[in-house]
Amino acid sequence: MAKRLRSEDNLDVDLDEKGPHTKPRLGSVPPHAPADLTRILSWNVETPVPFLQLPTRSATGAGSTAGSSPSLLRDLLRRHDYPDFVCLQEVRARHTDKSWISALRLAANYGAHDAGPKYTMYHSLNRSARGQRHFGVVTYVKEPHAVVAVREVDWDAEGRVLILELQTGWALVNVYALNGSEYMWRDPLGRTAPKTRNERKRDFNRLLMEECRAMQQRGLRLVLIGDFNISLTKRDCHPRLRTEYPHGLARQEFKEQFIPGLGVVDVFRDLHPDAKAYSWFAKGKPQGKDCARVDYALVEASLKDNV
């Protein structure tokens, strides 16, 4: 039987720390979860190379070697008692990278000698033919027959949004939002004029909100999960929250338009109003010296009491 997200059922969301070698920081799931619990795990891997069996085993980005830890993803799923949905961000593949796609598909089922379930993979990947591998999101599903539609969005070609619509009337949106800066952003398909990444970040949030509103108008309830590259309050940053323009403007719009406009709740902060917990840590600095919470599970308010 498929686990169904009904009004009386529960939802568990778990966000993992960034990076391929980190262990969960924002909570763990007890083994043998109740049958009515829909469980979603989200992990910004930064690079999946360590658990990808690629044609070459040379060092590939971030000092990692391809295939050096091939069971890493499968071990994570086992440790979390095989979640129903697993959302990865920053998988750094292009939509033409057949070897990467095959390796990503294999990684969730590596070995499969543990008698655990097999996962089906859906993906949205960068369509740029040039430059380094960046971006990309992947969603693994334990029971694919519960999925009635899988789609990307026509306003993004970088592989930042993947939507799964479920037969029980809700949608899972896997998000890897832009990190704002004054560097230039260029559309991989050349359909949009160049602009700063801060400008594109605000466009991205507005377009994502419109996409989600359209789903709500069709009667779907929303669960958005992933890396939004925004810290909402001072509690979510150390040592400080960047309030200067334009970072403060993108945050203000996200807090005052996006979240209330969709009627979603930051469920971690709702459940832990005073907790200091972070999902991003600056490289090259002692852990805790420069960190932020930028990864969220944004759940429609009607589902909040079920989390």
Q: Are 131 and 95 in contact (CB under 8 A)?
A: no
Task: Assign 3-class secondary structure to 138-172.
Answer: EEEECCHHHEEEEECCCCCCCCCEEEEEECCCEEE
Q: Which residues contact 12 (CB under 8 A, 6 or more apart)?
A: 29, 33, 37, 38, 39, 40, 307
**Is 306 labelled a binding residue?**
no
CA distance 66 to 48: 9
**Is 44 labelled a binding residue?**
yes
The residue type found at 95 is H
44 C-beta neighbours (distance < 10 Å), count = 24
Q: Are 115 and 71 in contact (CB under 8 A)?
A: no
**Is 227 labelled a binding residue?**
yes
CA distance 243 to 76: 36
Q: DSSP secondary-structure letter at 2?
A: -
What residues form the annotated binding site?
44, 90, 227, 229
What residues form the annotated binding site for Mg(2+)?
44, 90, 227, 229
